[in-house]
Structures are given as structure tokens and as C-alpha cells.
Amino acid sequence: MELEQAKQQFIQTWGNFGTQWGINRSMAQVHALLIVSDSPLCTEDIMERLSISRGNANMNIRELTNWNLIYKESIAGDRKEYFRAEKDMWEVAKRIVKERKRRELEPLQQHLAELKKVEQSYESISFVATIENIERLVSRLDSLSGTLMKADEHVFFGKILNLFK
């Protein structure tokens, strides 16, 4: 397979993978494109390479910036903004986890806490127990993600794997 072909394929694969996780295809594809690009790209470049509109490119670039997955980079003598991706994939994973935690786990925890305020009764006992069960799970995922964030990659996995062998 040729290099350009392989990159194209990767962009496709990453896009599909994204949609399965609630990330829209274009966003995942812009991300993939920047990951496999050796030099920073501007909006025009991205529009061309992915055949998407300016609006679409702009919106997803912004969103990826919010997720801390890509950075602005200026090129001397050019007034356009260029973008490059974080290429350390462990770092990428950590940032995605961090962001989803903030955007989803935390709000979910609040919702669950609200639900426990249901009026007490014989019938509500098992409901509250279930909610508490979920709270426990969520707070565990939460600590796990916190741990993940702080842990150095090598040390973390080394210890995990040793723990259970």
C-alpha cells in the first residue's frame, strides 16, 4: 500500500471509530488528518483534504481545540492559523478521558444525587439501592480516570500488569 492511501485509510477508520463513540465523523477525521500530517495544516488544507465545507472544518477545529487535542500554530509570514495535533496517543487518551469526565461523569453524578431525594417508602428502597449502586460505579470510574490522568504511562501499566499476574 502507498503512503497516501494508508493515511486516507487511517482517516476513514478513525472516523468510523469515532462515530461509534458519539464523536461526529468530521471531527474524528480532522483529528486523524492532523495526526498523520507531518506539517501543520490550515483550514483550507483541511477542507481540501477531507472535501468538507469551511463551516464544518472551522467548527470541528474549534471543538478539537476545546478538547485540547490540537493546537494553533503560527507560520512566520503567513497570517492564517495553522493546526497540529498532539501525537502522543497516550496523552490523547488522557485528554479525552479528562474531558468526558468533566462533561459527562460529573453531571451524571449530580443527577444521581438528585434522584436519591425521592420520598422514602417501602417501594423506593430498591430504587435508591440501585441508584447508589450506580453512584458507586460512577465514582469508581471517576477515581480510575483521575488515577489514569496523574499516572505515568509506563509506571501505571507496569504496576497494573504486575498486580494481576
Partner DNA sequence: ATGTATTTTCAATTATTATTGAAAATATTG
Partner DNA sequence: CAATATTTTCAATAATAATTGAAAATACAT
Q: Which residues bind a second copy (CB under 8 A)?
A: 1-3, 5-7, 9-10, 13, 17, 19-22, 35-36, 38, 87-90, 92-93, 104, 108, 111, 114-115, 117-119, 121, 123-124, 126-127, 130-131, 133-134, 136-137, 140-141, 143-144, 147, 150-151, 157, 159-161, 163-164
The CA-based angle 92-33-36, given to 5 degrees, is 70
Q: Closest separation between CB of residue 77 and a second copy, Å?
A: 25
C-beta of 16: minimal distance to DNA in Å? 9
Site residues for DNA, window 113-152 (CB under 7 A)? Answer: none
The answer to whether residue 12 forms part of the interface with DNA (CB under 7 A) is no
User: What are phi and psi for residue 50, nearest 5 degrees?
Assistant: -105, 0
The alpha carbon of 32 is separated from its chain's Cα centroid by a whole number of angstroms, namely: 12
CA distances from residue 22 to 18, 26, 41, 96, 153 in whole angstroms, order as listed: 7, 12, 25, 12, 26
Residues 80-119 that bind DNA (CB under 7 A): 80-81
- 110 contacts: CB under 8 Å, gap ≥ 6: none
Window 40-59: contact mask with DNA (x via CB under 7 A): --xx-------xxxxxx-xx
What separation in angstroms does the CA of 24 have from each of 6, 42, 43? 21, 20, 18
Residue 78 as a binder of DNA (CB under 7 A): the answer is yes
